[in-house]
Structure 1
């Protein structure tokens, strides 16, 4: 008779995996809510699946490992089991309720599936957004910021107090929204939002925004929630436009930097030439004298004594 195996789970996490991440992954794996998953982390052995071949048991164990938890394979006798016995390894009187087990298919709740994607919230530090949505939202934020800045300039021409107050409020709102969408971008990669403080560090702050745009997000749920929704065509178009704008700004900055360097080189060269020493007396035409050969003076009738030859 063929040998059969079972999968046993005792609530152990894989190294480096947090409990919240494991809960979300298991809830998605077994299509249930996190309340049912919490019943598995009692520290007592729970039989998740019985009557498996060795290959099937290995696949089940690999799925658990991918979810961030540790299980084990144990051999069992090839007996026919009732679904009510799926967790008979749990000690009597434990907190685990077999009737609420998310792993007995006929009894698992079907109306409380874990959401496949998260909910989008622009004005929140909770949730996750991908790279393209981050670029699209950044473009929209900058566009609104420019419009509000133009409005503030117009009001300043009429009232300094009103324009200054509106400009201050607009600046604070711009910073707050930037932090919110930046936090969601970092959450998508599984990073803490506190890393936004790196933007204030010299040198590092010049490269960290580029890293935020480039680092990929987690494919599955992480401790900050489920993955974000897929990108719509509008999001993709706005993301491409923002990349084009950033490329043009970069090229313009490079051209301006090159022109500035050329101007500085020309100014330095001119100052150097002006600072070179010149002998003004030697270059004055009135001070120049031509030496006269005495033989030429005699041929011309001029005697050394100052008298003419008769």
Structure 2
């Protein structure tokens, strides 16, 4: 019989399959053949035994019409600072794939904090009532830093849109006054699609954020 994985708990190794017969079957990681992770949304072939599924075999990705990269193993979760560093070092121009909520908000948080830190010399110069030329000169680092963050910020926004199943081109909505900012705020709060989509595998689920 064929069906689709509804859920899978990484910790317990137990999951649930929705069969094409409209019945649900429990399974364990040991029942799944191969090294492929039993991600939610994955189509499988299995042997029903009462209310359990055995001899589970992941079906070719062509059946779901998704690229093979959609069923690659999910990445390990990172800390907030690590996500920020990765965005500006490893994924500076990378708008492909998906970005979970934690990665998106980590970038925004540290982009804001580092911008404030870069502005401190300007605040001190103004507070000390120094000459205007020096005050203007101290604005150069934060301006350059802001320009530096534009490209990885756009790439990350594209990946965040992918994570909820939307095209990265929808980022152009942000150029619409008022509406654009609200749109990305909503997108940034939407949970990840818990199954592979056309842009990549589902992000790894954690205990504290079941759908990040």
Question: TM-score, length-normalised on structure 1?
Answer: 0.37
Q: CA deviation at 1:212?
A: 1.3
2:87 aligned partner: 122
Tell me which of 145, 159, 173 is aligned to 1:198. 173
| SS of structure 2 residue aligned to 1:159 | helix
**Structure number, greater radius of gyration:** 1
Q: Which runs of 5+ in 2 are unaligned?
A: 3-31, 37-43, 65-70, 78-82, 127-131
- 2:99–2:163 CA contact under 8 A, matched in 1: yes
- Deviating above 4 A after TM superposition, structure 1's stretches of 4 or more consecutive aligned residues are 58-61, 152-158, 230-233
- 2:192–2:203 CA contact under 8 A, matched in 1: no
Q: Distance in 2 between matches of 1:203 and 1:160?
A: 32
Q: Indicate yes or no: 2:116 matched with 1:146.
A: yes
* Structure of greater relative contact order (alpha carbons < 8 Å, 6+ residues apart): 2
Please state which structure has a larger fraction of its residues in helix: 1
2:8 aligned partner: none
Judged with a 3 Å threshold, the aligned counterparts in structure 2 of structure 1 residues 161 and 145 are, in CA distance, closer, same or farther, namely: closer
Tell me which of 167, 191, 210 is aligned to 2:185. 210
Q: Indicate yes or no: 2:101 matched with 1:136.
A: no
Question: TM-score, length-normalised on structure 2?
Answer: 0.50
Please state which structure has a larger fraction of its residues in strand: 2
Judged with a 3 Å threshold, the aligned counterparts in structure 2 of structure 1 residues 194 and 209 are, in CA distance, closer, same or farther, namely: same
State the superposition RMSD in angstroms: 4.6
State the number of aligned residues.
150
Deviations 1:219-245 (A, max 9, x none): 122232223344597xx8xxxxxxxxx
2:63 aligned partner: 69
